[in-house]
Amino acid sequence: MFTTIWNTVFFHPILNVMILLYHFLGDNLGWAILGIAVIARIFMIPLVKRQTEMTKKMANLKPELEKLNKKYANNKEKLTQEQMKLYKKVGYNPLGCIGTFVPQLLILSVLIGVIRHVTDSDLEGLYTWVRDITGISNGISIESNFLFWDLTKSYNSVSGEFGKLSIEALPYIGLSLLVGVVQFITTKFTQKMQSPTTVVKKDKKDSKDPAVEDMQANMQKSMIYLFPVMTMFFTISMPAALGWYWMIQSILLVVQYFTLDFNKTKKGIQNMWDIISKKKDKLSKE
Protein backbone atom coordinates (compact mmCIF):
# COMPACT_ATOMS: atom_id res chain seq x y z
CA MET A 1 0.00 0.00 0.00
CA PHE A 2 2.80 2.42 0.91
CA THR A 3 4.54 1.69 -2.41
CA THR A 4 1.34 2.42 -4.33
CA ILE A 5 0.83 5.75 -2.53
CA TRP A 6 4.51 6.67 -2.99
CA ASN A 7 4.41 5.93 -6.71
CA THR A 8 1.06 7.63 -7.31
CA VAL A 9 1.72 10.80 -5.32
CA PHE A 10 5.47 11.33 -5.76
CA PHE A 11 7.39 9.00 -8.06
CA HIS A 12 5.18 8.88 -11.18
CA PRO A 13 4.49 12.66 -11.32
CA ILE A 14 8.20 13.54 -11.10
CA LEU A 15 9.12 10.82 -13.61
CA ASN A 16 6.57 12.15 -16.09
CA VAL A 17 7.60 15.79 -15.60
CA MET A 18 11.23 14.82 -16.19
CA ILE A 19 10.42 12.94 -19.40
CA LEU A 20 8.35 15.88 -20.67
CA LEU A 21 11.20 18.29 -19.91
CA TYR A 22 13.66 15.87 -21.51
CA HIS A 23 11.55 15.82 -24.68
CA PHE A 24 10.95 19.57 -24.93
CA LEU A 25 14.53 20.53 -23.99
CA GLY A 26 16.21 18.74 -26.86
CA ASP A 27 16.34 15.21 -25.45
CA ASN A 28 18.82 16.42 -22.86
CA LEU A 29 18.69 14.86 -19.39
CA GLY A 30 20.90 17.57 -17.87
CA TRP A 31 18.54 20.38 -18.86
CA ALA A 32 15.58 18.25 -17.73
CA ILE A 33 17.10 17.93 -14.25
CA LEU A 34 17.77 21.67 -14.21
CA GLY A 35 14.09 22.17 -15.07
CA ILE A 36 13.07 19.90 -12.18
CA ALA A 37 15.27 21.98 -9.84
CA VAL A 38 13.66 25.24 -11.03
CA ILE A 39 10.13 23.84 -10.62
CA ALA A 40 11.00 22.55 -7.13
CA ARG A 41 12.32 25.96 -6.12
CA ILE A 42 9.16 27.67 -7.42
CA PHE A 43 7.04 25.38 -5.23
CA MET A 44 9.36 26.13 -2.31
CA ILE A 45 8.84 29.91 -2.52
CA PRO A 46 6.01 30.02 0.09
CA LEU A 47 8.08 27.90 2.51
CA VAL A 48 11.25 29.96 2.05
CA LYS A 49 9.23 33.16 2.37
CA ARG A 50 7.73 31.89 5.63
CA GLN A 51 11.20 30.97 6.88
CA THR A 52 12.50 34.48 6.20
CA GLU A 53 9.49 35.87 8.07
CA MET A 54 10.28 33.57 11.01
CA THR A 55 13.86 34.87 11.00
CA LYS A 56 12.63 38.47 11.16
CA LYS A 57 10.25 37.60 14.00
CA MET A 58 13.09 35.95 15.89
CA ALA A 59 15.17 39.11 15.47
CA ASN A 60 12.34 41.19 16.93
CA LEU A 61 11.93 38.73 19.81
CA LYS A 62 15.56 38.86 20.85
CA PRO A 63 15.19 41.68 23.44
CA GLU A 64 12.23 39.91 25.07
CA LEU A 65 14.07 36.58 25.09
CA GLU A 66 17.06 38.20 26.78
CA LYS A 67 14.76 39.54 29.51
CA LEU A 68 13.29 36.07 30.03
CA ASN A 69 16.76 34.51 30.18
CA LYS A 70 17.71 36.96 32.91
CA LYS A 71 14.43 36.65 34.85
CA TYR A 72 14.26 32.83 34.83
CA ALA A 73 17.97 32.04 34.76
CA ASN A 74 17.57 29.56 37.62
CA ASN A 75 14.29 28.01 36.47
CA LYS A 76 14.74 26.28 33.11
CA GLU A 77 11.23 24.79 33.09
CA LYS A 78 9.58 28.18 33.65
CA LEU A 79 11.91 29.75 31.08
CA THR A 80 10.82 27.23 28.45
CA GLN A 81 7.14 27.83 29.24
CA GLU A 82 7.50 31.61 28.94
CA GLN A 83 9.46 31.27 25.70
CA MET A 84 6.71 29.10 24.21
CA LYS A 85 4.10 31.68 25.25
CA LEU A 86 6.12 34.43 23.57
CA TYR A 87 6.55 32.37 20.39
CA LYS A 88 2.82 31.65 20.28
CA LYS A 89 1.96 35.32 20.83
CA VAL A 90 3.87 36.50 17.75
CA GLY A 91 3.26 33.39 15.63
CA TYR A 92 6.86 32.17 15.65
CA ASN A 93 7.49 28.46 15.08
CA PRO A 94 10.92 27.23 16.29
CA LEU A 95 10.60 24.23 13.94
CA GLY A 96 9.82 26.39 10.91
CA CYS A 97 13.17 25.62 9.26
CA ILE A 98 12.14 21.96 8.89
CA GLY A 99 9.44 23.08 6.45
CA THR A 100 12.05 23.78 3.78
CA PHE A 101 14.26 20.77 4.52
CA VAL A 102 11.65 17.99 4.35
CA PRO A 103 10.37 18.76 0.80
CA GLN A 104 13.97 18.97 -0.43
CA LEU A 105 14.78 15.58 1.08
CA LEU A 106 11.59 14.13 -0.39
CA ILE A 107 12.34 15.37 -3.93
CA LEU A 108 15.92 14.12 -3.69
CA SER A 109 14.72 10.66 -2.62
CA VAL A 110 12.28 10.50 -5.53
CA LEU A 111 14.92 11.75 -7.97
CA ILE A 112 17.31 8.96 -6.94
CA GLY A 113 14.63 6.42 -7.83
CA VAL A 114 13.79 8.17 -11.11
CA ILE A 115 17.45 8.19 -12.23
CA ARG A 116 17.78 4.49 -11.43
CA HIS A 117 14.69 3.72 -13.50
CA VAL A 118 15.99 5.86 -16.37
CA THR A 119 19.33 3.99 -16.17
CA ASP A 120 17.52 0.66 -16.53
CA SER A 121 15.19 2.05 -19.28
CA ASP A 122 12.34 1.24 -16.88
CA LEU A 123 9.70 3.86 -17.73
CA GLU A 124 6.67 1.83 -16.78
CA GLY A 125 5.20 4.69 -14.76
CA LEU A 126 4.72 7.01 -17.75
CA TYR A 127 1.20 8.33 -18.29
CA THR A 128 -0.44 7.44 -21.60
CA TRP A 129 -0.66 11.08 -22.73
CA VAL A 130 3.03 11.62 -21.92
CA ARG A 131 3.96 8.62 -24.08
CA ASP A 132 1.80 10.01 -26.89
CA ILE A 133 3.39 13.48 -26.73
CA THR A 134 7.01 12.39 -26.37
CA GLY A 135 7.04 9.11 -28.26
CA ILE A 136 8.96 7.66 -25.30
CA SER A 137 7.81 4.44 -23.71
CA ASN A 138 9.07 1.67 -21.45
CA GLY A 139 12.30 0.09 -22.70
CA ILE A 140 13.49 3.09 -24.74
CA SER A 141 16.95 4.34 -23.77
CA ILE A 142 17.33 7.93 -22.56
CA GLU A 143 20.36 9.95 -23.68
CA SER A 144 22.23 10.57 -20.42
CA ASN A 145 25.45 12.29 -21.57
CA PHE A 146 25.64 15.93 -20.48
CA LEU A 147 28.69 18.19 -20.53
CA PHE A 148 31.49 16.05 -19.00
CA TRP A 149 29.38 13.33 -17.42
CA ASP A 150 27.11 10.40 -18.01
CA LEU A 151 24.45 11.50 -15.54
CA THR A 152 23.43 7.92 -14.74
CA LYS A 153 26.96 7.01 -13.61
CA SER A 154 28.98 7.87 -10.53
CA TYR A 155 32.65 8.04 -9.62
CA ASN A 156 32.39 4.58 -8.04
CA SER A 157 30.83 2.99 -11.13
CA VAL A 158 33.38 4.60 -13.48
CA SER A 159 36.52 4.01 -11.41
CA GLY A 160 35.53 0.52 -10.30
CA GLU A 161 36.51 1.11 -6.67
CA PHE A 162 36.70 4.00 -4.23
CA GLY A 163 40.09 5.72 -4.17
CA LYS A 164 41.11 4.59 -7.65
CA LEU A 165 42.00 7.39 -10.06
CA SER A 166 41.43 7.29 -13.80
CA ILE A 167 40.93 9.77 -16.61
CA GLU A 168 37.29 8.72 -16.89
CA ALA A 169 36.70 9.33 -13.17
CA LEU A 170 38.18 12.86 -13.05
CA PRO A 171 34.99 14.66 -14.24
CA TYR A 172 32.99 12.93 -11.48
CA ILE A 173 35.55 13.89 -8.83
CA GLY A 174 35.47 17.44 -10.20
CA LEU A 175 31.66 17.52 -9.96
CA SER A 176 31.71 16.42 -6.31
CA LEU A 177 34.34 19.05 -5.48
CA LEU A 178 32.31 21.71 -7.29
CA VAL A 179 29.15 20.68 -5.41
CA GLY A 180 31.09 20.88 -2.14
CA VAL A 181 32.36 24.40 -2.91
CA VAL A 182 28.88 25.61 -3.92
CA GLN A 183 27.39 24.00 -0.79
CA PHE A 184 30.02 25.71 1.39
CA ILE A 185 29.17 29.13 -0.08
CA THR A 186 25.43 28.46 0.22
CA THR A 187 25.69 27.24 3.83
CA LYS A 188 27.74 30.28 4.84
CA PHE A 189 25.32 32.56 3.00
CA THR A 190 22.16 31.05 4.52
CA GLN A 191 23.63 31.29 8.02
CA LYS A 192 24.19 34.99 7.40
CA MET A 193 20.66 35.36 6.06
CA GLN A 194 19.06 33.49 8.97
CA SER A 195 20.96 35.38 11.66
CA PRO A 196 19.05 38.15 13.47
CA THR A 197 18.90 41.43 11.58
CA THR A 198 19.14 43.52 14.74
CA VAL A 199 21.93 43.66 17.24
CA VAL A 200 21.00 44.19 20.84
CA LYS A 201 23.55 45.78 23.16
CA LYS A 202 23.57 44.11 26.52
CA ASP A 203 25.61 43.86 29.64
CA LYS A 204 27.42 40.72 30.68
CA LYS A 205 24.77 40.24 33.33
CA ASP A 206 22.08 39.99 30.64
CA SER A 207 23.99 37.63 28.39
CA LYS A 208 23.55 33.91 28.20
CA ASP A 209 25.99 31.45 29.72
CA PRO A 210 29.27 32.00 27.80
CA ALA A 211 29.72 28.24 27.51
CA VAL A 212 26.32 27.91 25.80
CA GLU A 213 27.09 30.78 23.44
CA ASP A 214 30.47 29.24 22.59
CA MET A 215 28.87 25.86 21.95
CA GLN A 216 26.26 27.39 19.62
CA ALA A 217 28.92 29.37 17.76
CA ASN A 218 31.11 26.27 17.38
CA MET A 219 28.17 24.23 16.09
CA GLN A 220 27.42 26.88 13.47
CA LYS A 221 31.05 27.03 12.40
CA SER A 222 31.34 23.24 12.20
CA MET A 223 28.21 23.02 10.04
CA ILE A 224 29.78 25.43 7.53
CA TYR A 225 32.52 22.85 6.89
CA LEU A 226 30.86 19.57 7.85
CA PHE A 227 27.80 19.84 5.60
CA PRO A 228 29.78 20.52 2.38
CA VAL A 229 32.13 17.59 3.14
CA MET A 230 29.15 15.29 3.75
CA THR A 231 27.61 16.53 0.50
CA MET A 232 30.82 15.75 -1.41
CA PHE A 233 30.95 12.18 -0.10
CA PHE A 234 27.25 11.71 -0.84
CA THR A 235 27.41 12.99 -4.42
CA ILE A 236 30.62 11.14 -5.31
CA SER A 237 28.92 7.81 -4.56
CA MET A 238 25.64 8.65 -6.32
CA PRO A 239 24.84 9.16 -10.03
CA ALA A 240 26.17 12.46 -11.40
CA ALA A 241 22.56 13.56 -11.95
CA LEU A 242 22.19 13.98 -8.18
CA GLY A 243 25.33 16.11 -7.94
CA TRP A 244 24.13 18.29 -10.81
CA TYR A 245 20.68 18.67 -9.21
CA TRP A 246 22.17 19.47 -5.78
CA MET A 247 24.46 22.15 -7.19
CA ILE A 248 21.64 23.83 -9.15
CA GLN A 249 19.39 23.74 -6.07
CA SER A 250 22.07 25.43 -3.96
CA ILE A 251 22.55 28.20 -6.52
CA LEU A 252 18.80 28.69 -6.88
CA LEU A 253 18.44 28.99 -3.09
CA VAL A 254 20.71 32.05 -3.13
CA VAL A 255 18.72 33.48 -6.06
CA GLN A 256 15.50 32.82 -4.15
CA TYR A 257 16.71 34.66 -1.05
CA PHE A 258 17.85 37.50 -3.30
CA THR A 259 14.37 37.90 -4.83
CA LEU A 260 12.49 37.54 -1.52
CA ASP A 261 14.65 39.88 0.58
CA PHE A 262 16.87 41.98 -1.70
CA ASN A 263 18.22 44.34 0.98
CA LYS A 264 19.20 41.64 3.44
CA THR A 265 20.68 39.46 0.70
CA LYS A 266 22.77 42.39 -0.47
CA LYS A 267 24.02 42.94 3.09
CA GLY A 268 24.70 39.20 3.48
CA ILE A 269 26.79 39.09 0.30
CA GLN A 270 28.63 42.25 1.34
CA ASN A 271 29.38 40.77 4.79
CA MET A 272 30.71 37.58 3.20
CA TRP A 273 32.88 39.59 0.81
CA ASP A 274 34.23 41.72 3.69
CA ILE A 275 35.18 38.60 5.66
CA ILE A 276 36.94 37.09 2.63
CA SER A 277 38.77 40.37 1.99
CA LYS A 278 39.93 40.61 5.63
CA LYS A 279 41.22 37.03 5.59
CA LYS A 280 42.96 37.67 2.27
CA ASP A 281 44.65 40.81 3.67
CA LYS A 282 45.69 38.92 6.80
CA LEU A 283 47.29 36.13 4.74
CA SER A 284 49.12 38.61 2.50
CA LYS A 285 50.63 40.36 5.56
CA GLU A 286 51.85 37.06 6.93
Please tell me the predicted confidence (pLDDT) of residue 203.
Answer: 44
Q: What is the pLDDT of residue 67?
A: 79
Closest CA to 249 of 172, 150, 182, 176: 182
Q: Give the 3-state secondary structure of residue 92.
A: coil
d(CA 104, CA 106): 5
Instruction: Give the pLDDT score at 95.
Output: 62
Q: Which residues make Cβ contacts (< 8 Å) with residue 135, sequence separation at least 6? A: 23
Going from the C-alpha of 128 to that of each of 131, 136, 138, 206, the distances in angstroms are 5, 10, 11, 66
| pLDDT the model gives residue 34 | 92
Looking at residue 9, its pLDDT comes to 81
The verdict on pTM exceeding 0.85 is no
Which pLDDT belongs to residue 206? 44
Domain ranges of the chain: 2-285
Q: What's the pLDDT at 35?
A: 92
Question: What pLDDT, on a 0 to 100 scale, did the predictor assign at position 31?
Answer: 92
| Residues with pLDDT less than 50, the chain | 196-208, 210-213
